[in-house]
Amino acid sequence: DAGVTQSPTHLIKTRGQQVTLRCSPISGHKSVSWYQQVLGQGPQFIFQYYEKEERGRGNFPDRFSARQFPNYSSELNVNALLLGDSALYLCASSILAGGPVEQYFGPGTRLTVT
Amino acid sequence: AQSVTQPDIHITVSEGASLELRCNYSYGATPYLFWYVQSPGQGLQLLLKYFSGDTLVQGIKGFEAEFKRSQSSFNLRKPSVHWSDAAEYFCAAMEGGFKTIFGAGTRLFVKA
Residue A1: which pLDDT band, with cuts at 50, 70 and 90? Answer: low
Inspect the interface and report whether the beta carbons of A55 and B98 lie closer than 8 Å.
Answer: yes
CA A39 vs. chain centroid, Å, equals 16
Between residues A93 and B95, which one has the greater pLDDT?
Answer: A93
Residue-level pLDDT at A89: 97
Strand ranges for B15-97 from DSSP E: 19-21, 24-26, 32-38, 45-50, 56-58, 64-68, 73-78, 87-95
Inspect the interface and report whether the beta carbons of B98 and A96 lie closer than 8 Å.
Answer: no
pLDDT tens for B72-81 read 999 999 999 9
A 42-101 residues with CB below 8 A of B?
42-45, 48, 50, 55-56, 58, 90, 92, 96-101
Lowest-confidence pick of A56-60, A81-85, B62-66, B84-88: A56-60
pLDDT tens for B19-69 read 999 999 988 787 899 999 999 878 899 999 999 889 999 999 999 999 999
pLDDT at A2 over 90: no
pLDDT at B1 over 80: no
Beta strands at B32-38 and B45-50: parallel, antiparallel or unpaired: antiparallel
Lowest-confidence pick of A18-32, A45-59, B9-23: A45-59
Q: Is B9 left (phi over 0), alpha (psi -120 to 50) or beta?
A: alpha
Residue-level pLDDT at B96: 67
Residue-level pLDDT at B44: 93
Nearest partner of B69 among B24, B104, B34, judged by Cα: B24
- Cα distance between residue B30 and residue B40, in whole Å: 31
Inspect the interface and report whether the beta carbons of A42 and B100 lie closer than 8 Å.
Answer: no
- Cα distance between residue A87 and residue B65, in whole Å: 29
pLDDT at B97 over 70: no
